[in-house]
Amino acid sequence: MSKKILKEVKDIVVFIVVVSICVIVIQSYVLASTKVQQHSMESTLIENDFLFTEKISYLFSQPKFGDIIVFLEEKEQGFDGSPIGVCVKDTIGKFRKDEPRMRFVKRVIGLSGDTIDIKNGKVYVNGKELDEHYINGITDKRNLECPFVVPEGQLFVLGDNREYSLDSRNFGCIDKKNIEGKVVIRLWPLNKIRLF
């Protein structure tokens, strides 16, 4: 091969590597996509809705009541648990057709230090009944012993489809470190584009 062809091949390889690194960094630290796979957030989010989550705001601020977040069921330790490690492992898994990692999409209901209570199908935070116009069904306690205080560094989350959602009533509060991002926009279906 001539030097000119070798240089062009090298330039293409360098370009692909640079673009790949940029995509991994953006997906790891800035913006990521996710697809709703279950019914636990209906009717706010429906199965197969395509969402974008942003990851920057939680680097500088804490989650707020009402935020819709995406989080990992379990976060691994070391590199595999870092944002880049998660992105790389997920990308490799897609090519190998591995079972995707379990992610949840839920609404933040209680912050660290909040007292949560559930009575007569209603949720109370710090003694005040929540006005939850967005939910389907009534909220039962399940395994939850009420009232209780949300531990430091954790969040209490619920799905909007209360009778069918697997959430903090089942698995307890979630660690803030497991949050992958805050849902900011639904892009699909096109007739239901919405900012959150």
Confidence of residue 89 (pLDDT cuts 50, 70, 90): low
Continuous segment of H or E residues that includes residue 15:
helix 3-29
CATH top class, domain 3-189: mainly beta
Map residue 158 onto helix, strand or coil.
strand
Quick one: pLDDT at residue 109?
Answer: 94
Region 133-151 average pLDDT: 86
Name the β-bridge partners of 50: 35, 188
Q: Over 87-149, what HEC string results?
A: HHHHHHHHHHCCCCCCEEEEEEEECCCCEEEEECCEEEECCEECCCCCCECCCCCCCCCCCEE
Give the pLDDT confidence score for residue 95 in this predicted structure: 60
% of the chain at pLDDT higher than 90: 16
Quote the CA–CA distance of 192 and 7 in Å, as a whole number: 47
Query: Is a pLDDT exceeding 60 seen at residue 172?
Result: yes
Question: Cβ atoms within 10 A of the Cβ of 66, count?
Answer: 12
